[in-house]
Amino acid sequence: MTDIAITRTTNPGKPPADETLTFGNIFTDHMFLMNYDAGHGWHDPRIVPYGPFSLDPACCVLHYGQAVFDGMKAFRGPDGHIRLFRLADHARRLNQSGHFLCMPELDPAMVEQSIRALVEVDQRWVPSLAGTSLYIRPTIIATETFLGVHPSHSYLYYVIVGPVGAYYKEGMNPVRILASDTHVRAVQGGLGAAKTAANYAASLFGAEAAQKAGYTQVLWLDGVERKYLDEVGTMNIMLKIGDEVITPPLNGTILAGITRDSVLTLLRDWGLRVSERPIAIDDVIAAAQAGKLEMWGTGTAAVISPVGELGYKGERYVINDGQTGALTQKLYDTIVGIQYGTAADPHAWARPLGNRLGG
């Protein structure tokens, strides 16, 4: 274990009422920081009062986007205890994303320790209302001051956390997504599998067009043939046609979602037929028209999000009468039950804060 220096705020904030929480606009009293310098390695892990930090205007992350992040959650169950959902897997993924962006290795054990320590310090901010949680955003940015294009020699790893409610304004109600035939998010050999700022920058233009057309999100198709489903950017996509559950494979263009993995594991536990294989948009539309389609997204922020309508090439296709499907609801209830400690957790995904039940 590395020693983490803790400087507590002298001006603690007041957590908002759980009922008022939306997503991503409230942060707690503290943040975690740690620096990297070539030749010195990662150093100075510390928790300090939350606030702005200064960056040189020539800092390379501001110009070339060498930045990665992850997103995970802590939950306060009805028993009052705080649980972290698949922390070790998120820590590993942050390090993998960094690898794509030529960043130095950051020991996943250090990521775990930093997150546990910060959540412990700010634990009074973990909300308890059903559907709320503490969202955790570990981030690594390149901090060297230069304008040449090459990997930075210095980095800042930081973690911020904040209480959140539902990601989509629809909550658990079905969302409408637009399969884009005009914009692409990623291609094989690119950064699509990394959780990096660049992928989200690439999604903005298409997402805005989708929102203007009345959709919540874009369903990205493959960047080459524009024929096969990739992901939704804020979530992985899954569907059920007949007795087969299908999701696009991890082929380098989509994020290896932790919720995606949790859902696939549960489905296999339940004995369902699960295929990670390419699925063509035309087959999805044919299934929607035949009334045989159930569709949902999976993500840390989005949890399990039913899809009630699909747009493509100017047409709108209603899915499952615009209602949440039975399997989607069962997945939501099971995942949420595990996260809040009210359902059996056979894979030990929800781990108590510290090595005990905190809260």
User: Least distance from C-beta 337 to ligand COI, angstroms?
Assistant: 19
Q: Pick between residue 207 and residue 319 the one whose CB is nearest to ligand COI.
A: 207
Q: Pick between residue 193 and residue 287 the one whose CB is nearest to ligand COI.
A: 193
User: Least distance from C-beta 7 to ligand COI, angstroms?
Assistant: 28
Contact criterion met (CB below 8 Å) for 75 and 302: no
If you search the block for the tokens 């294989």, which residue do you land on? 277
205-264 binders of ligand COI (CB under 6 A) = 234
33-92 binders of ligand COI (CB under 6 A) = 71
User: Least distance from C-beta 17 to ligand COI, angstroms?
Assistant: 22
Contact criterion met (CB below 8 Å) for 75 and 36: no
Q: Pick between residue 30 and residue 260 the one whose CB is nearest to ligand COI.
A: 260
Q: Pick between residue 186 and residue 293 the one whose CB is nearest to ligand COI.
A: 186
Residue with the CB atom nearest ligand COI in the bound state: 71
**Type of residue at 47:** I
> How many amino acids of this chain bind ligand COI (CB under 6 A)?
5
Q: Pick between residue 50 and residue 200 the one whose CB is nearest to ligand COI.
A: 200
User: Least distance from C-beta 255 to ligand COI, angstroms?
Assistant: 9
User: Least distance from C-beta 297 to ligand COI, angstroms?
Assistant: 10
Cα(first)–Cα(last) distance of the chain, in Å? 22
User: Least distance from C-beta 280 to ligand COI, angstroms?
Assistant: 26
Q: Pick between residue 297 and residue 308 the one whose CB is nearest to ligand COI.
A: 297
285-314 binders of ligand COI (CB under 6 A) = 299-301
H-assigned helices in the chain: 60-64, 87-100, 108-121, 197-212, 258-269, 281-289, 326-340
CA distance linking residue 247 with residue 298, whole number of Å: 11
Q: Pick between residue 234 and residue 334 the one whose CB is nearest to ligand COI.
A: 234
CA distance linking residue 93 with residue 69, whole number of Å: 9
User: Least distance from C-beta 207 to ligand COI, angstroms?
Assistant: 11
- Asked if 196 touches ligand COI (CB under 6 A), the answer is no
DSSP 155: E
Contact criterion met (CB below 8 Å) for 101 and 66: yes
Write the DSSP string, 49-92: ES------TTBHHHHH--EEE--EEEEE-TTS-EEEESHHHHHH
Closest-CA residue to 287 (of 313, 319, 312) = 319
> What residues line the site for ligand COI (CB under 6 A)?
71, 234, 299-301
